[in-house]
Amino acid sequence: MISAILVDDEPINNDNLKALLAQHCPQVEVLASATSAAEAKELLLANKPDVVFLDIQMPEKNGFDLLRSIGEPGFEVVFVTAFDAYGIMAIKFSALDYLLKPINAAELKTAVGKVEASVKDRKKNARLENLMQLLDRQQLDENEKIGLPTQRETFLTPIKAIVRCESSNNYTSFYLTDGTSLLISRPIYEYEELLTPYGFIRCHQSHLVNKKHVKSILNEDSGYLVMEPDHAKIPISRQKKPLIKAIFKA
């Protein structure tokens, strides 16, 4: 879902746009509506929407004034105006799109499509940035041990001794620096969350690897990580390839 706030000094215009969105763009959730720049500013800061549909011409402060007062908005902007001449100004404000009143359903769907693509990219980039910060920060104590429960006993294993993890349905195999492996009856995603702060990377749906044990990157197919000391070739999914290149600056 895409969260949105509507801003227009005419309440009926907000109501009409909300109805159009409900009919033609059900993926948009309207969080609130505002009829002035002051009211809109409060709503935008409190709700942090993905997009604001913003009327340009309003009394006291117009749509441009509102954006100037916010600074760096963390949302997309689709300007809504009855005057085509405002289009150039909208573009200068780096609006994602602008719509002329009365709003055409096809143009609205096009604008929402742009919002969807932009929001998806922004969230993807934010996740990548967070992960990069996590991997680049001072690492936690790798001598710390985690419990790896097999059917017979729980092995207290130093995190630095884990080379990689491989998923098999709801089981995870842990491969260690001494050449041994442990089969754990828990899914790999549970360990991804636990081990990422220690420099582990989910390079493939079925593989989680310790960054410190990556020896090289093979450029075969979509790519492989060669691990040490076991020289295992771990596939890199196409979706993860940009992440791997960013992490290793390859």
What is the residue-wise DSSP string for 149-192? E-SS-EEEEEGGGEEEEEEETTEEEEEETTS-EEEESS-HHHHH
Strand, helix or coil at 31? strand
Which residue has 């002329």 as its token pair?
Answer: 100
Q: Residue 135: what pLDDT?
A: 55
What type of residue sits at position 81? T
Contact 224, 184 (CB under 8 A): no
Per-residue pLDDT of the chain (250 residues; tens, 9 = 90+): 999 999 999 999 999 999 999 999 999 999 999 999 999 999 998 998 999 999 988 888 888 889 888 877 788 899 998 876 666 565 556 678 888 889 999 999 999 999 998 888 777 666 656 655 655 554 556 678 899 998 889 999 999 999 999 999 889 999 999 999 999 999 998 898 888 888 899 999 999 999 999 999 998 888 999 999 989 999 999 888 888 888 887 6
How many whole angstroms separate alpha carbon 89 and alpha carbon 72? 18
Q: Which domains does the chain have, with CATH numbers?
A: 2-135 (3.40.50.2300), 145-248 (2.40.50.1020)
Q: Residue 20: what pLDDT?
A: 97
